[in-house]
Chain A
Amino acid sequence: MSHHLYILSPSDTPLYELTHFSSKPVQATTSPLSANLPNWSTSAFAGTLTALSGASSAIQSHNTQSGPVRIGGGKDPHVIQMIANASLDVIEEVMRKENAMYLKSVDKFNEWTVSAFVTPGNMKFILLHESRNDDGIKSFFVDVWELYVKTMLNPFHTAHTPIRSAVFDSRVRASAKKYL
């Protein structure tokens, strides 16, 4: 089961992205269509096909989850990014209505749910996930927010530029492991 985190600036520039494979158990999602697609289905046409059929997660060899190995499909980073981008409109709509920082799940695409968190400085944190985990995700977002603030305080970091700090990266990963 994987999660994808995107950090976006107020002008929707991606500043950071992370893919995290959770070792927590989750109900196996079945998607017969993509299971039948052969190896070459990572080509563009087949990519669309699998996206439409349900961007189900392909299981990587190092994932601890047991189950049939599915090839091709929604592990496609393009699909993931498309889902994230599409959710931005919904996020902005919700932002206008609600004043809270943690907007729970704002969008759903097949089995991917998009949760969002908007900071006071209008930075958007978007998390794509498959299972429900509201509390964990909220704690994770708050943690990432604190780490993000610390990065912003670094005089060598220019605002709204991609975050390349290795320290930030390792801390976000550790936080993901803890909460997700």
Chain B
Amino acid sequence: MATPAAKQYKTLGEEIWKGRAEKTNAELFALTYGALVVQLIQDYEDYEEVNKQLEKMGYNIGTRLIEDFLARSNLGRCADFREVGEVVAKVGFKSFLNISPTVTHGGQPPAASPTRASTPQPAAPGSSFTLTFDENPLAEFVELPEEALEGGLWFSNIYCGVIRGALEMVQMQVQATFISDVLRGDESTEIRVTLSKYLEEEVPVGDD
């Protein structure tokens, strides 16, 4: 879908990437992340727990990353959840990792309720988009051993956390999970992001 907005996001993403003064070496990045995951596995010895920890770490990163993103991209609020997906894929991932996952929108929200809330929602909770990665800089040299495959490790689970953390800071509560991973032998690497609900703007405590 080469809508003008889509092209715009693509060029914006590229510009931000090019405009970054400090980039880090991809191999160093991949090796560091790999060492991190292996250390987590040794510490926790339970792959589910490692997945959770990676997600938590990603969440912490995401809450901070969004500030950098908004400062550089100068983008306003997204009109609907569809647009959120486009922006995350084309501008977000592009500007930080120089990769462009493809977005597929999907997921009709189940049983749309007839009564709407007074404030019109840009998308009903339950809508989702799927990001398909054709390259993953974190998993450059990785081969998962048998136990990791059986234990259900999602090697790049940090991405899910980052997406969740970043979107929560802009008032969207989402669930991001891996659906498939080439490291596990699947056809492609995919993350599904589902909207749980919109968060109300909260007035900071202590303000009068």
Residues of chain A at the chain B interface (Cβ within 8 Å)? 150, 153-157, 165, 167
User: Is residue B34 contacting chain A, with contact meaning CB distance below 8 A?
Assistant: yes
In the complex, what distance in Å separates the CA atom of A153 from the CA atom of B29?
12
Neighbouring B residues of A156 by C-beta, 8 Å: 34, 38, 142-145, 148
- B134-180: which residues lie under 8 A (CB-CB) from chain A? 140-145, 148
With both chains docked as a complex, state the minimum distance between the C-beta of B18 and any C-beta of chain A, in angstroms.
Answer: 28
Which of B35, B37, B140, B141 gathers most chain A CB within 10 Å?
A: B141
Count of interface residues, chain B, beta-carbon cutoff 8 Å? 13
Cβ–Cβ contact B145 & A155, under 8 A: no
The secondary-structure label for the interface of chain A is: loop
Neighbouring A residues of B140 by C-beta, 8 Å: 153
In the complex, what distance in Å separates the CA atom of A150 from the CA atom of B144?
14
Neighbouring B residues of A155 by C-beta, 8 Å: 31, 34-35, 37-38, 141-142
In the complex, what distance in Å separates the CA atom of A155 from the CA atom of B144?
9
In the complex, what distance in Å separates the CA atom of A156 from the CA atom of B42?
11
Q: List 20 A-B contacts (CB under 8 A).
A: A153-B27, A153-B140, A153-B141, A154-B34, A154-B141, A154-B142, A155-B31, A155-B34, A155-B35, A155-B37, A155-B38, A155-B141, A155-B142, A156-B34, A156-B38, A156-B142, A156-B145, A156-B148, A157-B143, A167-B143
Which of A153, A156, A157 gathers most chain B CB within 10 Å?
A: A156
Known: A156-B34, A167-B143. 18 other contacts (CB 8 A): A150-B141, A153-B27, A153-B141, A154-B141, A154-B142, A154-B143, A155-B31, A155-B34, A155-B35, A155-B37, A155-B38, A155-B141, A155-B142, A156-B38, A156-B142, A156-B143, A156-B148, A157-B143
